[in-house]
């Protein structure tokens, strides 16, 4: 798809979907950069603070519609730019986008052992159901009881 056609499709989106797509693009670029420069804990803390500072109540009343719209924006960015990122980047991006819209979700990390190697995977859950991964896939991982909070050290020090 040519750049002109991609831009035309982008401008045909509703304004709310355009902003969501821009958020998905910026988060997909900034989160991996934050991981490299500052580490996962600080990046998650900054992303959480960003989402909560400008928290907007969702215009959509249905959580499943909000989740579907955010995932669609992520797929749109991946198709247009090739920015897929790791499962942790994709999940943290979706988690932040939904948190910014007032939707409480959990970032989950699980581990499994296959062919003698330990594998890790991250996904987002809403009401104890995975939203960006199939339940059959997530059930093969051992998941910690608490949602992933890499920046716990900040919370224990009294910071938000």
pTM: 0.85
| Domain locations along the chain | 3-156
Tally of CB atoms within 10 A around 141: 17
Question: What is the per-residue pLDDT across 19-59, written as a single tens digit (0 to 9) for each?
Answer: 999 999 999 999 999 999 999 999 999 999 999 987 776 66
* Per-residue pLDDT, 10: 81
Query: Pick from 155, 148, 27: which is nearest to 81 by CA?
Result: 27
In the predicted structure, residue 159 carries a pLDDT above the cut 50: no
Contact call for residues 23 and 73 (beta carbons, < 8 A): yes
Query: Pick from 72, 17, 39: which is nearest to 150 by CA?
Result: 39
Measure the CA–CA gap between 27 and 4, rounded to whole angstroms: 23
Token digits for 117?
């190697």
Place of tokens 């059959």: 136
Task: Give the β-pairing of 129-130 and 106-114.
Answer: unpaired
> Where would I find the beta strands (DSSP E) of 26-66?
none
């Amino acid at each position: 798809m040519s750049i002109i056609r991609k831009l035309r499709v982008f401008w045909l989106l509703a304004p709310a979907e355009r902003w969501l797509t821009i958020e998905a693009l910026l988060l997909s670029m900034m989160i991996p950069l934050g991981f490299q420069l500052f580490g996962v804990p600080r990046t998650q803390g900054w992303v959480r603070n960003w989402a909560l500072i400008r928290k907007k109540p969702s215009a959509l009343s249905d959580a499943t519609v909000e989740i579907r719209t955010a995932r669609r924006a992520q797929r749109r960015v991946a198709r247009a730019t090739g920015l897929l990122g790791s499962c942790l980047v994709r999940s943290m991006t979706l988690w932040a986008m939904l948190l910014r819209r007032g939707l409480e979700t959990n970032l989950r990390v699980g581990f499994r052992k296959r062919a003698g190697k330990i594998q890790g995977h991250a996904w987002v859950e809403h009401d104890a159901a995975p939203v960006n991964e199939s339940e059959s896939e997530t059930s093969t991982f051992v998941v910690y009881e608490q949602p992933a909070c890499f920046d716990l050290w900040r919370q224990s020090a009294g910071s938000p």
